[in-house]
Chains A and B, each alone.
Chain A
Amino acid sequence: MLEELEAIHADAISAIAEMADIDGLEAFRVSYLGRKGRLTVAAARMKDIPKEDKPAAGKALNEVRNAITAAIGEKGESLQIAIDAKAAENVDVTLPGRLMHPGARHPISQILDRAVATLRRMGFSLASGPEIETEWHCFDALNTPPEHPARNESDTFYFEDGRLLRTHTSTVQIRTMETSPPPVRIIAPGAAFRRDEIDSTHLSHFNQLEGLYVDEGVSLAELKGSLEYLLRSIFGEKTPVRFRPHFFPFTEPSFEIDIMLEARGKASKWIEIAGCGMVDPDVFNAVNKARGDNAYAPDKISGFAFGLGLERLAMILWGISDIRLLIENDIRFLRQFP
């Protein structure tokens, strides 16, 4: 019996060493350890051996079974490793990546996010207001004279009830100050409407980003520092920024802001990018009148306001030549701003 076990062990170990594939190894396992396998059959003969030999034979049988099982396991593992290596070797790593097809935010949203992120870092909160507005919020409160051309029906969309579509987001300045006392530090992104025929440089509505900072002691120095920081955050740290005196009814003094940019393949030049100024005292007076208090007393508090056109910003930033691309939503266009 012991000799037989010895022989089975020796045969098995040498056979296992010869095995070249997993299927052969499994067949071998069945042929030795299976129900009719060589070792199983030999073990069945245990009942015939003398009682006193049984412990030794049993021990030897177990040792042989364990040894064979272990050898099969080891061999199996090494065969699998070879298969795995082969499989990895066969991968054509030059095949294209699996297409994930992410979509994209609209370029206007992307530029808005960029500006909002910067302005929040500067301590501004968002504010909003209605797009259908009263003439008072859109013009009167913003110190626009009654006969001002912007109020013409040829320039502004009106409704039968006398209200209008706001022509700028500056209405949110008024809405905010009406309800909150100073200090106020807000930005208001949103649509503004002008009665313009749509062409390569005009839309009948576009997106603005309005900002307002009112507090005690806000001066031109804060206006300048804040807007330089904002524009350099968007266009690059070294972008030259200049302030040109201008005129808006709701700020005094008023400025237009230019940045120096290099258009593709052209000499750098100053490009108008935003309007800003110190809030006109008459705007504060109008707000006080509406509030019925003197919270915004022009001799005690001051503030600056600014407005950016997002379409213009996007067109300059990405070299987009036709503003209509921004409302057509051609996926071939949108895809370019991942």
Chain B
Amino acid sequence: MKVALDWLSDHVDLSGYSQPELDDLLTFSGIEVEGIGSMPEKVVVARIKSSEKHPDADKLSVCTVDDGTEEPRQIVCGAKNYQLGDNVPLALPGADLGGGFIIKKGKLRGVESHGMLCSAKELGGEDDSGLWILSPDCKPGTALAELFSATFDLEITPNRPDCLNHLGIARELAALAGGDLKSRPDYTNTTIAEQPATKEEIRISAAEHCQFYTARRIGGVKVTESPPWLKSKLESISLRPINNIVDITNYVLMEMGQPLHTFDAAKITGGIHVRKAGENETLLALDGVNYQLTAEDLVIADNTGPIAIAGIMGGEATGVTGDTTEILLESAYFAPAGIRRSGRRLGISSDSSYRFERGVDPAQVAGASELATSLILKLAGGQAEEHILTCGSPPPLTQEVEFNAEHCRGLLGCNITSAEMFPILEKFGINKLEETGSISKWKIPSYRGDLTRPADLYEEIVRVYGLDNIPSRQRSWFSEISDADVAHDFMTGIANRLTALGFYETRTIKLTSPARTADNVCTTSNEPIALKNPLNDDLAYLRSGLTGALLDVAERNIHQGIETLRLFEVGTVFSKNNEGEESQHLGFLVSGPEQASWQDPQPGSADLFTLKGIIEVISGTSPAFVRTTESSPAASLLTDIMLGKLCIGQAAQIAPARARAMDARHPVFAAEIDLALLQKKTSGNTQYEELPKFPAISRDVAMEVELSLSNGEIESVLSKIKSPLLESFRLFDLFHDDSGQRLDAGKKSIAYSLTYRDRTRTLESSEIDKAHAEILDELKAKLPVEFR
């Protein structure tokens, strides 16, 4: 919300404060200053004397203006919304319009321009539809800084609707600065005669949404332009003046926070009825939109139907126009919840609804009507009816609140005394009713509906006392390690291993599209969960796997010319059919060669066994890859990753067609592992094994076998052999010749190194030969192998 310094100064003396000091004062009371606006220097009022088309540019014109000096000034201008004689802002050469934009004398398409005529937007306002047309009363040459006050752009938190107007901010500043309000206009204590309306005049049939409604009829008004002081006040906070009646209601709104509405009384048929809308009712509102109403919406209706959406926006048909002579001035209290609901459903946020939905002060409803009436009589003439017609009564929204000085001290953590605390409350207009020991009772002013509990009063103390005055204290404590700690450390350990192996960690978006789901080849059985209100189709589902996102990342990087892809991600994966819906997955993707270097200019490309090796490193064990029965069009090879009998995830080669679609020049491999399962299977303390004291001897065995005989089958036989001397074995060579020249193309040569050891003595060569021969016999007996 914008507030003008001059306007605030109507109510509170701020002369002793610089702008930065005011900024601090507001900031530390909880009102964030988002910007300070003031008219730049060297911007003056100029009157347009002539305007001709630019000789070389259709969209430009060449104007001469009166800038208050003797000499006419020539300006080239692109706007069209002015007439000769209009007053507009002129930025003279040297004026700094912010953002490094400094006005210079120059030529535009060959014609000299000695400054720039400005729109409101160029001077910190909102409107950029054309030149800012200033009041005709301004004297050319007057600096705009003299005409328009400096402004503060404030962020008012939702609990403080009482600060959504100048009087509210002034009240706050006076309390914070320790001064008094200059004039304390008490809009709650009006002496104006109120008179309960008859049922025919005003009727409320939705009392939970509107407890108090007032209307005042003013006849014989003349709708015209507002006087300069009023226009300037509104313009200074970026409101566009419209006519005296509308401007007055806007003024009252910004002055004291009470939204008002004026109807053209001549266009209302019968009395006012505050009621819920009928299911098929519609209203053409002042913004030109025809709103479809429902029984949830509160409307102001006359005998013909709705004439306003209560508290949100008036109807076009009963709006004030230049021909209006008799008005009905509405001032009411509408309850926040209903306004919020209707505003949200209809998609309208007006200055009025913004305040009602946060809560206005019910006690000033009549006072606002009175202020507006007096201004209307002054500026538009006419006659007001003697009484304000009222229906219902202002609901009491505030009550007494207890204050426990002991609790407040405990909360602040310092020894602040009641003598220090109470004046703070009193400054805010909160008055002590009684005090017994450390407990006191306080009366809350009607505009502070946010103060309902002791904690709310403590907050008032804190924000004025300031955190600067509270000591900084640290308390240490031994904490139990939690499951989340263990899981975090486990994940961190794996992540660190992977980065040491050359992997980059990615963090991708968790929302995805059904099309992308097909890329989650390592989690094909996960059923994606759909959002009810997605932003768009591309972000309509929660990801059911990490692989799809990793493929996106791979593609992005491939398009940047990166061939070596070593990526991993740790994160939540969602599935409808999994217990608990959410699981933490580790996904990774490998593709392309190890990075080339001058020692190794052409390293080999990653393959499925790169993936497997990585999984061996991070799991500290050797999981088995077992082909799955599942399939996916995006995968040419899909395996379960088994630790014993437990499947901890899946590994895949991305289908070459899919890889080509992302312009990959190398095969792409991906795997996904359920971290909780891996953690469960691999944690626990490792036991130290005594180092062997006697040497090991190895013997190699090379076999010629059918291509179809897998390493797994051979290893399975080897691992089942009960030879007390055989310590371990490992594959060390695999050879296959497609051309059939060096080896039958249907066969492969496969070789293992077998390690023999006795942990109690050194073995004799003959013993090893015997054991080795037995193993070869066993292999030969169990498998179709030929030794080479």
Known A-B contacts A123-B477, A220-B467; the reply to A191 vs B529 at CB < 8 A is no
Does A281 lie within 8 Å of B560, measured CB to CB? no
CB distance from A222 to the nearest CB of B (A): 5
Bound Cα distance A278, B475 (Å)? 16
Does B476 lie within 8 Å of A123, measured CB to CB? yes
From B474, B535, B595, contact of A222 by CB (8 A): B474
Q: Report chain B residues within 8 Å CB of A165.
A: 531, 542
From A159, A198, A224, contact of B529 by CB (8 A): A159
CB distance from B406 to the nearest CB of A (A): 10
Q: Is A73 an interface residue (CB 8 A)?
A: no
Q: Mark A138-178, 1 if CB is under 8 A from B, else 0.
A: 00000000110100111001111000010000000000000
From A101, A203, A221, contact of B412 by CB (8 A): A221
From B480, B499, B502, B503, contact of A125 by CB (8 A): B480
Q: Is B245 an interface residue (CB 8 A)?
A: no
Bound Cα distance A247, B160 (Å)? 9
Does B535 lie within 8 Å of A147, measured CB to CB? no
Q: Report chain B residues within 8 Å CB of A280.
A: 455
Bound Cα distance A229, B535 (Å)? 39
Among A98, A128, A244, A329, max chain B CB count under 10 A is at A329
CB distance from A42 to the nearest CB of B (A): 38
CB distance from A236 to the nearest CB of B (A): 17
Does A331 lie within 8 Å of B30, measured CB to CB? no
Q: Report chain A residues within 8 Å CB of B157.
A: 246-247
Q: Is B700 an interface residue (CB 8 A)?
A: no
Does A158 lie within 8 Å of B582, measured CB to CB? no
From B481, B504, B529, B534, contact of A331 by CB (8 A): B504
Q: Is B28 an interface residue (CB 8 A)?
A: yes
Q: Is A255 an interface residue (CB 8 A)?
A: yes
Among B336, B487, B504, B539, max chain A CB count under 10 A is at B504
Bound Cα distance A165, B509 (Å)? 14
CB distance from A90 to the nearest CB of B (A): 17
Q: Report chain A residues within 8 Å CB of B507.
A: 106, 108-109, 207, 326-327, 329
Q: Is B500 an interface residue (CB 8 A)?
A: yes
Q: Is A55 an interface residue (CB 8 A)?
A: no
Known A-B contacts A103-B501, A225-B474, A245-B30; the reply to A329 vs B467 at CB < 8 A is no
Known A-B contacts A99-B595, A127-B484, A203-B509; the reply to A332 vs B560 at CB < 8 A is yes
Bound Cα distance A222, B477 (Å)? 13
Among A108, A244, A256, max chain B CB count under 10 A is at A244
Q: Report chain A residues within 8 Å CB of B495.
A: 105, 109
Among B336, B472, B480, B557, max chain A CB count under 10 A is at B472
Q: Report chain B residues within 8 Å CB of A252.
A: 455-456, 458-459
CB distance from A206 to the nearest CB of B (A): 10
Q: Is A89 an interface residue (CB 8 A)?
A: no
Does A130 lie within 8 Å of B456, measured CB to CB? no
CB distance from A167 to the nearest CB of B (A): 13
Bound Cα distance A248, B499 (Å)? 39
Bound Cα distance A330, B160 (Å)? 44
From B411, B474, B505, B572, contact of A226 by CB (8 A): B474
Bound Cα distance A247, B557 (Å)? 43
Does B337 lie within 8 Å of A126, measured CB to CB? no
Bound Cα distance A92, B455 (Å)? 74
Does A221 lie within 8 Å of B459, measured CB to CB? no
Q: Is A104 an interface residue (CB 8 A)?
A: yes
Q: Mark A213-233, 1 if CB is under 8 A from B, else 0.
A: 000011111101110110000
Known A-B contacts A205-B509, A217-B410, A244-B32; the reply to A222 vs B502 at CB < 8 A is no
Q: Is A313 an interface residue (CB 8 A)?
A: no
CB distance from A215 to the nearest CB of B (A): 8
Q: Report chain B residues within 8 Å CB of A109.
A: 495, 505, 507
Q: Mark B552-585, 1 if CB is under 8 A from A, else 0.
A: 0100110010101111000010100000111000
Q: Report chain A residues within 8 Å CB of B190.
A: none
Q: Report chain B residues within 8 Å CB of A132.
A: 529, 542, 574, 581-582
Does B556 lie within 8 Å of A328, measured CB to CB? yes
Q: Is B211 an interface residue (CB 8 A)?
A: no
Q: Is A334 an interface residue (CB 8 A)?
A: yes
Bound Cα distance A120, B160 (Å)? 37
Bound Cα distance A330, B556 (Å)? 7
Does A247 lie within 8 Å of B30, measured CB to CB? yes
Q: Report chain B residues within 8 Å CB of A98.
A: 597, 599
Interface hits, A178-228 → B, CB 8 Å: 183, 185-186, 188, 191, 195, 197-198, 203-205, 207, 217-222, 224-226, 228
9 residue pairs of the A-B complex, CB under 8 angstroms, read A102-B499, A105-B495, A120-B479, A128-B487, A130-B580, A224-B471, A228-B472, A280-B455, A331-B557
